[in-house]
Each structure stands twice: as structure tokens, then as C-alpha cells.
Amino acid sequence: MHTETVEIKASEGVIHYERGRTAHSAFGIPIQETDVGLQSKVGLHSGRAELLREAAIIIWEELPMAKKAVLECANQLLQDIMGNDLPFGDKLFIGLGDFRQVAPVIRGSSGPAATLNSSIRTSELWHHFQILRLTLPVRDAGDPAYSRWVDQVGDGRAPYEGSVSLQHLRHLASLDDAANSLFLDDALQTSPDAVQRAFLSPFNARVDSFNGRMLEYLSGPASISLPLLVKELDDATFHLPTGTKADLLSMVRESGVPPHDLSLKKGCIASIMRNLCTEKGLAKNQLKPISEPAHLTFYLPRITFEFKPQRANWTVQRRQFPLRLAYATTFNSCQGLTLDRVVLDLTVPVFAHGQLYTSLSRVRTAADICILRDLDETGYSTVNIVYHDLLLPV
């Protein structure tokens, strides 16, 4: 019997397949990305290179979310491994995804020009792809009217260009209402149900605030973990500003980095923020309950998270556990999830392409989603941002 190796990758979010990996892990793409000139860390004679060499098919899930520099880095690695200059080393390369969903995140910019320039749609590799369209809904097939409406929101055509009416969806007035709607029943203490519900928001600060609120509802004492903190100057001729003492640095938030003060309780749900051991399910964005030591126990190490605050000439290194509470997540991080119940936080409007469509499409029916927002002169309408140049031609 002839067997073939299939490699499954994902740009972000949850790895849905056994032994699937994130693209950064599989192709050795640096975590600290630049927009050009990424160099893979995979050695050409390593075990990882051999696995890629033997792969008959490479499947990349949520490909539209990847920056073109990341795709081009993977392409160069495959060409080097296979010893040719053909696209992806002449491998059968399958990309899955929906360009109506969130686009690559550009630090310091969310405008259409920067987003399009970073997208794989503007890569020289793009014209090598053959487009195959999937037209039958799966997740929301049980509610055809809601499915059609969500698709129209994602297309951003009239009457859903610029703003969308949410009047037909259930609305909530406060964070307490959101907590009651999602978790204040058996689901808060029963992890299989809790991991299928989420508070979704455009902003990390709102996500952290809601996660902290949910921790207060759990009984028992909280365990607080503080990181080991290091700050480094990029240029030794500059002095650290007065406000960069440890107490102020503890307030600095960064996407993809755990909060400075990590508070956990027995029974709470946390997500893993780095790939640790995919064979054991310890992959980025996997949800795990926090419990007492048992027969099957995973011990997580502290790892170093490094980031540079915007407009700073210094870098922060935090050595901490790669965990964050997971009762809430951002619109960008929810991509790929199917949830039983969602509260959508629109107290502050969306600010980037595809965020509204991505968040609305996480549920199976209209009855599974509630909207949290303040009613104003716009009534039940909210902002919808769609960059039409990113979308595939109709």
C-alpha cells in the first residue's frame, strides 16, 4: 500500500486537525514579523525539512489571514528544500479561507492601502492559484435566512455598505446582562459548555475586562502569577523615559501577550498562547480547564514574550506562563471557531475589514447571538467595514 504525507497548517487560531501546526511552527517563520524579507529558521537537513520534502499535499487553513511576506517565506523554504524554483517547490498547495473575514493585522495601520499591500492578493504567487468556490453553507445551514444575511454583510454591498441594521437580533444593555446570557448557569462550572460560548470584542482591553469579571463569579481563591520583566534599549545612547519603571511597564498591553498579572482559579477556562506540544493538544488558542493535579496533567513552562511598545525605542521581555483567560476573545482571534452562544460587543464600532462578518458568522443560527451596544441616534445600526479590493471577483 502506498501512503502519502499530508501537511496541514493554519495562519492563526485553533488547529482543528490532529497533528496540524501553525504555519509559523511548520515553516519556521519568525514570530517577530517584518513585511519583507522573512527568512525561515528550518534547516534544509532537519527533520522538519524532511517531513515537508515527503509531503504530497500541503493544506493551509485561513490562508487569507496570512501576510504575503509569510506566504513568500514558506514558498522560498519549499523551493530550497525541493531544489527548484517552481511555486511552492512544485508541491500541491491548497489554501482554504474566506477573504470576507479579517485581513492580516498591520501594526499601527488598519487602512485599505496598507492592508491590501500586505495581503496575499498582491503577492506574485497569487496568479498561480486556481480558485474553487464553496457555495453550500455548513455552520449556519440550519438558518438559511441568517446565512444569506451574514453573506451579504460580508460582501459589503448595498444596503450593507458602510452600516448594517441589527434590529432583528437580540440586544443586551450591560456587561452583567452579557455575563448572565453566556455563563451564569451550569456552563460557568462545566468546561465542555463554557468553551463553546464567548464574549467577542474588537479590543483586547475589553476582552481582558470581561475575562476578569467572569473570574470573580467563580468560587475559591485566585492564584496570581507575575512575570520576570526585562527591558532592553535598541540604542544605548538613549535613556529609558521616566515612566518606564516596572509598575508602569506592568500596564503595557500587547496583542498576543498574556496580561502582566495572570489571575487563575480552579475550574476557569484558559487559552494557550504559544505552540508547546501539538501532539498533546498544547497548541496556540486551544482552550483548557485549570484544575488540580490529576492522572493526565500538563505542566506549562514560563516562556519569553518580547514586544516593542508603539513609538518606543526599547523592547520589553516578559517571562511568563503562556496563558490567558478564555471567556472572551477578539474578533480577529475568533476566526475558525464555531460557538453555541455569543455576545457581540459593539459598544465601540469595528475598525477593520471583515470584523463584523467574522464575528457574526461564528454561530449556527440568529438565536445563538446577542448584541451588546448603547442605543443612540443610529438606532440599531452599526459600522461595517469591507475593503472590496481584497474580495475575490464575483
pLDDT tens digits, one per residue of 8-50:
666 654 444 445 677 888 899 987 656 667 899 999 999 999 9
Domain boundary (128, 159, 175) is at 128
Compute the 3-state secondary structure of the chain and give helix, strand, coil in percent, each to the nearest 5.
30, 25, 50
For residues 255 and 66, which has the higher predicted lDDT (pLDDT)? 66
Does 121 lie in the same domain as 58?
yes
The answer to whether 377 and 235 have CB atoms below 8 angstroms apart is no
pLDDT tens digits, one per residue of 94-119:
999 999 999 988 877 668 999 999 99
Does 341 lie in the same domain as 302?
no
Does 350 lie in the same domain as 310?
no
Does 228 lie in the same domain as 120?
no
What's the domain range around 265? 220-326
The answer to whether 154 and 384 have CB atoms below 8 angstroms apart is no
If pLDDT is split at 50, 70 and 90, which confidence band does 236 have?
very low
Does 286 lie in the same domain as 361?
no
- For the segment 157-167, the average pLDDT, to the nearest whole number, is 92
Domain boundary (309, 326, 343) is at 326
Q: Report the distance separating Cα 327 and Cα 208, nearest Å.
A: 9
> How many domains are there within the chain?
3
Q: Which of 151-160, 262-271, 279-288 has the lowest mean pLDDT?
A: 279-288
- For the segment 237-242, the average pLDDT, to the nearest whole number, is 48
Does 177 lie in the same domain as 102?
no
Any idea what DSSP says for residue 131? P
pLDDT tens digits, one per residue of 317-341:
888 888 889 999 999 888 888 999 9
Does 269 lie in the same domain as 163?
no
Determine, yes or no, domain membership for 206: no
- If you average pLDDT over every residue of the chain, what do you get? 84
Q: Give the pairing of strands 328-330 and 197-201.
A: parallel
Residues written for the chain: 394
Note the pLDDT of residue 128. Answer: 97
Does 268 lie in the same domain as 179?
no
Does 95 lie in the same domain as 9?
yes
The rounded percent of the chain whose pLDDT value lies above 70 is 81
Determine, yes or no, domain membership for 294: yes
Statement: residue 239 has pLDDT above 50? no
Identify which of 118, 204, 143, 136 has the alpha carbon closest to the alpha carbon of residue 360.
143
Note the pLDDT of residue 7. Answer: 60
